[in-house]
Copies of this chain bind each other. A is one copy, B any other.
């Protein structure tokens, strides 16, 4: 049903939008063919930079009329190809919708356009004593519209929840060009179906987000960081449960395994933790100054009871950052191990994290591959990175076997195949492991309710044909 982009169609786009904001130039087409994963690119036929909601609506309407695929794109930092135009057509680059429209202290909210960078909003609200918790690793580069489309998480999600918890309302353009607003400026709202939550995490397949109302919190008054090292992953996982058992809800509860630590140490050329460390936990506690000591002591006790080898504590920003350094350097460090990284963000119920690490250990042994794993242990959400050399066909084959086994066994543990990165197109082959044909068919019908002609970000989230 999709139609190719014609010269006349591009001319029509130029009339709707300023001519210098429409291009078919090779360089732009290449730039907009990939996302943060930077592999498996697909070129669009044309890139358009709309200037506001009216232009977005006009472009959508034109694409709908002409059955031309339309792929909305924020900062393009996703990991599963959500912004990659699989079938050509139009990439709608939202870069010009990049203003913080409002920071409203008395109502504890911000109104932003989709291409405001997460970190820029964080800084802006913190300057006035407020706090926007979602902190994906990409926060210095990723756009809030993309964060909403993917329901981005981050370390602070353990205590504060993911992006979903902070989206009060949206303005969005349907593929047919109609503009809707969902939710509003209040925390509570039970009028009609919760379209806000439905759009969050819908990966640009239902509507194009043009404005976001975000809930803010008062900034925590104090924070401390603890770092505990363990001689086994299971002891670290036990410490996670022990912390929660002691009534503490840390802001973050991050785990780094030995493969990851080794990579970071090799990359930085220095020792970051005692010899024999098999796992380390990074735990932030925040809240009232008066409670920080109690919280830190409870965490300390819990870690030692679980067998921690060493527990360090930092109260000031500089020392805290030094403890976090190992975690921050993981992404660049892993790139140095092997060029191909199949990175997954599986989730298991939080009590089953030890079983997940047993599974990873087993996969490592069987495949002979390195599988550095780290992440949000408090949420049971672990980034499992299967490393391989793409020039070595056998390694690549084993890496894909590991991937299959990982997903199947995570689901058997009561888990899910993605906690943060979404499905895009790279994980479509695995969706059927988690969702039933009936559930997928229902989701397709919902897609159709928004996008009857199927032009918006086609080929994403679900297999193209019903999975019967």
Chain A residues packing against B (C-beta within 8 Å)? 104, 106-109, 129, 150-151, 153, 157, 161-162, 164-165, 174, 178-182, 184-195, 197-198, 200-202, 206, 217-221, 241, 244-245, 247-249, 287-291, 293-295, 347-352, 376, 379-381, 414-423, 431, 434-436, 438-440, 442-443, 445-450, 461-462
Alpha-carbon gap, A349 to B352, bound state (A): 40
Also in contact, A249 and B218, with CB within 8 A (given A165-B161, A288-B294, A295-B288): yes
Contact B414 A349 (CB under 8 A): no
Alpha-carbon gap, A345 to B107, bound state (A): 19
Contact B186 A349 (CB under 8 A): yes
* CB of A193 to closest CB in B, whole Å: 5
Contact A422 B190 (CB under 8 A): yes
Q: Which residues of B contact A447 (CB under 8 A)?
A: 193
Q: Which residues of B contact A153 (CB under 8 A)?
A: 188
Contact B414 A104 (CB under 8 A): no
- Indicate which residue in B104, B442, B461 contacts A195 across the interface (CB closer than 8 Å): B442
Contact A164 B197 (CB under 8 A): yes
* CB of A128 to closest CB in B, whole Å: 11
Identify 12 new A-B residue pairs, CB closer than 8 A, beyond the known A188-B376, A191-B418: A107-B350, A157-B188, A181-B439, A188-B420, A191-B416, A191-B434, A191-B435, A195-B439, A218-B248, A218-B249, A291-B291, A445-B448
Alpha-carbon gap, A184 to B181, bound state (A): 29
Contact B108 A186 (CB under 8 A): no
- Indicate which residue in B190, B352, B381 contacts A419 across the interface (CB closer than 8 Å): B190
Contact B414 A185 (CB under 8 A): yes
- Indicate which residue in B179, B293, B350 contacts A290 across the interface (CB closer than 8 Å): B293
* CB of A210 to closest CB in B, whole Å: 15
Q: Which residues of B contact A416 (CB under 8 A)?
A: 184, 186, 188-189, 191
Q: Which residues of B contact A415 (CB under 8 A)?
A: 184-186
